[in-house]
């Protein structure tokens, strides 16, 4: 996906990028490739691939959820900043918080944020399990995102405790999500969520499958969740 295709594909979805925003994506790409030589951020480094599989793919969440109506976003295990930072570039009003367990990545994101001249961004070196228990963070975000971090039953325990009541949890998944959804239903319910929609589509050009699972937070998450670091992964809430 070259820059013209990227711009026109977003235009079709009602997202018009200014010269400054396009410059931000260019800077993002340059930083990603440069830092990737120092720390492992991504296996995708070819420019057309980055624009399609990282930038465009991240922004697809906004085709199904109106970010103009939301104020705060928390991205769990964002790695190199996906999906939250491409969304932030398109919707600059958002207050974005990223939680990642690797300090090297947080260091990269802090410096990247300055280079992109982003405002209202915060980066935390923490495990989602402990971050979700912090009083000022728990149940405080309009939307929480996670992109292919873990299976849905595990992700729900890492993300739903951070979502405020009536807020959304968005799980961005690559391949077919049917089995994961089936296995994750119990966890979602226990944690106070309800699956509102599953959007399945293909990325343009290469036509690879994508799924966005939209979970609405309907009631408070019981205090005992999230459990200790590592526990959700070892023994997910399934049944």
- Judged against a pLDDT cut of 80, whether residue 239 lies above it is answered with no
- Judged against a pLDDT cut of 80, whether residue 232 lies above it is answered with yes
pLDDT band, residue 62 (cuts 50/70/90): very high
Mean pLDDT across 40-67: 96
**55 has binding-site annotation:** no
Range of the domain at 151: 3-234
For the chain, percent of residues with pLDDT exceeding 70: 99
The full length of the chain comes to 239
**Range in 57-71, 174-188, 199-213 with the lowest mean pLDDT:** 174-188
Spatial separation of the C-alpha atoms in residues 150 and 173, rounded to whole Å: 10
Is there a domain that residue 149 lies in? yes
pLDDT band, residue 218 (cuts 50/70/90): very high
Characterize the bridge pairing of strands 95-100 and 141-147: unpaired
**Side by side, which strands form the sheet with 95-100?**
121-125, 95-100, 72-76, 141-147, 163-173, 209-217, 193-202
DSSP assignment string, 152-197? HHHHHHHHGGGEEEEEEEEEEESS--HHHHHHHHHHHHHTTEEEEE
Is there a domain that residue 239 lies in? no
The whole-chain average pLDDT of the chain stands at 96
Is there a domain that residue 19 lies in? yes
Q: pLDDT tens digit string along 143-175?
A: 999 997 689 999 999 999 999 999 999 999 987
For residue 123, CA distances in Å to 76, 131, 145, 204, 234 come to: 11, 12, 14, 31, 26
DSSP assignment string, the chain? --HHHHHHHHHHTT-PPPHHHHHHHHHHHHHHHHHHTTS---S--SHHHHIIIIIIHHHTHHHHS-GGG--EEEEET-TTTTTHHHHHHHSTT-EEEEEES-HHHHHHHHHHHHHTT--SEEEEES-HHHHTT-TTTTT-EEEEEEESSS-HHHHHHHHGGGEEEEEEEEEEESS--HHHHHHHHHHHHHTTEEEEEEEEEE-TTT--EEEEEEEEE-SPPPTT-S-STTHHHHS----
pLDDT at position 174, please?
85
pLDDT at position 155, please?
95
pLDDT band, residue 78 (cuts 50/70/90): confident
Q: pLDDT tens digit string along 18-34?
A: 999 999 999 999 999 99
**147 has binding-site annotation:** yes
- Specify the CATH number for the domain of residue 148: 3.40.50.150
Q: What would you measure as the largest C-alpha separation in the chain, in angstroms?
A: 50
**82 has binding-site annotation:** yes
pLDDT at position 178, please?
86
**77 has binding-site annotation:** yes
Spatial separation of the C-alpha atoms in residues 16 and 174, rounded to whole Å: 26
Say how many domains are in the chain.
Answer: 1
Whole-prediction pTM? 0.96
Q: pLDDT tens digit string along 205-216?
A: 998 999 999 999
pLDDT band, residue 179 (cuts 50/70/90): confident
Mean pLDDT across 93-112: 97
**128 has binding-site annotation:** yes
Spatial separation of the C-alpha atoms in residues 34 and 82, rounded to whole Å: 17
């Amino acid at each position: 996906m070259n820059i013209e295709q990227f711009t026109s594909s977003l235009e079709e979805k009602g997202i018009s990028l200014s010269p400054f925003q396009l410059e931000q994506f260019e800077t993002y790409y340059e930083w990603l490739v440069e830092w990737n030589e120092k720390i492992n951020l991504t296996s995708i480094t070819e420019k057309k691939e980055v624009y399609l599989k990282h930038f465009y793919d991240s922004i697809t969440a906004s085709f199904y959820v109106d970010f103009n109506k939301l104020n705060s976003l928390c991205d769990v295990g964002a790695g190199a900043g996906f999906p939250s930072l491409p969304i932030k570039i398109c919707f600059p009003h958002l207050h974005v918080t990223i939680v990642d367990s690797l300090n090297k990545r947080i260091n990269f994101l802090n410096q990247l944020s300055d280079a992109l001249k982003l405002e209202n961004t915060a980066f935390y070196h923490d495990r989602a399990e402990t971050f979700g228990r912090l009083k000022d963070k728990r149940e405080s975000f309009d939307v929480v995102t996670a992109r292919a971090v873990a299976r849905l039953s595990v992700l729900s325990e890492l993300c739903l405790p951070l979502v405020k009541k009536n807020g959304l949890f968005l799980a961005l998944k690559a391949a077919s999500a049917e089995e994961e959804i089936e296995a994750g239903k119990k966890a979602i319910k226990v944690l106070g969520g309800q699956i509102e929609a599953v959007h399945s589509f293909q990325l343009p050009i290469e036509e690879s499958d994508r799924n966005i699972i939209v979970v609405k937070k309907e009631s408070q998450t019981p205090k005992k969740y999230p459990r200790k670091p590592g526990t959700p992964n070892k023994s997910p809430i399934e049944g």
